[in-house]
Homo-oligomer: A and B are copies of this chain.
Amino acid sequence: MLERVLTDLEARMRAAPDRGKVADYIPELARVDPARFGISVCLADGRQLSMGDAEVPFSIQSVSKVFALAIALGRFGETLWIRVGREPSSRAFNSVVDLELEGGKPRNPFVNAGAIVVTDAILANRAPKETLAEIVRFLRAASGSDAIHIDQAVARSETETGHRNWSLAHFLKSTDNLRHDCALTLGTYFHQCAIEMTCADLARAGRFLAGLSRDDDLISRAHVRSINALMMTCGHYDGSGEFAYRVGFPGKSGVGGGILAIVPGKASIAVWSPGLNRWGNSMLGTMALEELSDAMGWSVFNAG
């Protein structure tokens, strides 16, 4: 059944009249073909179904925040929340306002400010290279794919033009919520965001959050629950309520147009379409997940 659903879905998405707007504030990302659409689903029975551009690598950007958080929770546990909050934000992903109003503690680990703090935490006085290697290693282990890598050109592009993130980092530094030099933490953060992988690899990498991978090596079950909860309430920035209402399971988007979505116990889904809606989330990606949720009855809010 899922196969037919995906086939229909891809056809409809290919024909979509409005695909949103490709992110243009990172020059390297602005060049991506807006017509791309890929989706891949890993299921509890071990099967993986993919459609469209599911084998084309793209820049996962903020989707990487999920994996950085997984590593940080594994290392620091609940003490991480001293530095970052767990509440949704009603402002844009790169907003400085909440940060100032709340004394330098980001509202959650998925807005940029919060993700920068998480990266700063896992840096832990090591070289950025080591930390990045750890993140890539985590993703390769989770997905079983060695193709996952960092696109240096994208990382450089952001380092040079990502002034809003520099603004956030210096603000965090001014409130003592950054342990390393801004350049060191941000350099690591920009490289982490520049990780490139395919939908097929991303869906596999997310299996541990859906409980589909065989071992508990990557992360404890309590942390899986925590990450899914945060993806539900904060994973789509100020459009998180809308996503929960329409799709009904946890997800995390990136400005590259990718979304990783988790149906606990049932499926790990990666979707990619570069055009964004007004909150900076993939327009067709969100639509595809909504249709998939409806067709499969996958919303966690379904009462049977």
Using CB atoms and an 8 Å cutoff, list the residues of chain A in contact with chain B: 85-90, 95-101, 107-108, 163-164, 166-171, 173-174, 182, 208-212, 221, 224-226, 228-230, 232-234, 238-242, 244-245, 248, 250, 262, 264-265, 299-304
Q: Are A304 and B264 in contact (CB under 8 A)?
A: yes
A42 shortest CB reach to chain B, Å: 12
Which of chain B's residues have a CB closer than 8 A to the CB of A232?
A: 232-233, 244, 301
Considering the complex, give the chain B residue whose CB is closest to the CB of A165. Answer: B170
Q: Are A248 and B225 in contact (CB under 8 A)?
A: yes
Given A241-B86, A301-B224: A174 in contact with B167 (beta carbons within 8 A): yes
From B108, B208, B221, B301, give the contact of A264 (CB < 8 A): B301
What CA separation (Å) do A230 and B225 show in the bound complex? 19
Q: Are B96 and A241 in contact (CB under 8 A)?
A: no
Considering the complex, give the chain B residue whose CB is closest to the CB of A239. Answer: B87
Which of chain B's residues have a CB closer than 8 A to the CB of A240?
A: 87-88, 233
What CA separation (Å) do A98 and B228 show in the bound complex? 27
A277 shortest CB reach to chain B, Å: 14
Which of chain B's residues have a CB closer than 8 A to the CB of A96?
A: 96-97, 99-100, 167, 171
What CA separation (Å) do A107 and B233 show in the bound complex? 15
Given A97-B96, A241-B88, A299-B225: A174 in contact with B170 (beta carbons within 8 A): no
What CA separation (Å) do A89 and B89 show in the bound complex? 8
Q: Are A228 and B301 in contact (CB under 8 A)?
A: yes
Q: Are B90 and A88 in contact (CB under 8 A)?
A: yes
A-B contact pairs, 12 of them (CB 8 A): A87-B239, A87-B241, A163-B182, A167-B170, A221-B302, A224-B302, A229-B248, A230-B241, A232-B233, A233-B244, A234-B241, A265-B302
From B164, B173, B244, give the contact of A174 (CB < 8 A): B164
Q: Are A224 and B303 in contact (CB under 8 A)?
A: yes
Which of chain B's residues have a CB closer than 8 A to the CB of A233?
A: 88, 232-233, 240-241, 244-245
Which of chain B's residues have a CB closer than 8 A to the CB of A168?
A: 167
Given A170-B167, A171-B163, A233-B88: A108 in contact with B241 (beta carbons within 8 A): yes
